[in-house]
Structure 1
């Protein structure tokens, strides 16, 4: 009987602490302790005692969930624990299709990826032809995702 009560108390405390320390481990251990308590109740007290323990554990978990999601957010403590808003903005990739055909210079070694300077702005680039030395003239031949595909321009100066 004392082992059953101890498992119920420990399980209840762990599940209650899970409200304040998110991560799932405390809730998982608390649920496991409650399952052990229910199992011991079935073993020691038969079907009626086990069923009573099961429904008591179920009611406790329901009460904890009710307190966590309905009552706690309305208190000062709850407002400090939960996030207040959500992010409404969206991030969009810079339109790099306009840079196709532009010339520039390699800021870093492209072996095969690195950074290039085009119109005074730094961009991530991928060399289609393999190795391009830093400072070499390049030309943008395509734009994929967030990087430019470049080739070396041997006969022109960097812009």
Structure 2
């Protein structure tokens, strides 16, 4: 597992493919506040709940100047099905080799049902307008996370 990102550090840049097969660069959003969250698998119960919570909060988050990006190891085709099935409006990106997850510290050892496993560490970051890490949360819970994030950001 790579090191966890520190507050104030430059956010690692990336270029990934979205659910429509288009290239997406984090640098495109320089000058905007960005919420980047990593989740293990599209169309699983917890990941669906989290993605739907972000979608339901998207208008409010955008009104406060935030863009939301969800990243998983799923292929773009599966992400497209996820978007369609659950009417998601957030940006969904594919990191099949988990290189971005590793660079952001969102892949490595974790506890799952009492066992140590290697996998995606459900994590959320806020990147400021200058491309620096403003907040970093690791090992977040899928359910209730968006509400907690909103409270932590002073949006409720």
| TM-score range for the pair, normalised by the shorter chain length | under 0.3
Higher helix share: 1
Higher relative contact order (CA 8 A, sep 6+): 2
- Between Structure 1 and Structure 2, whose CA radius of gyration is higher? 1
TM-score, L = length of structure 1 = 0.22
TM-score, L = length of structure 2 = 0.22
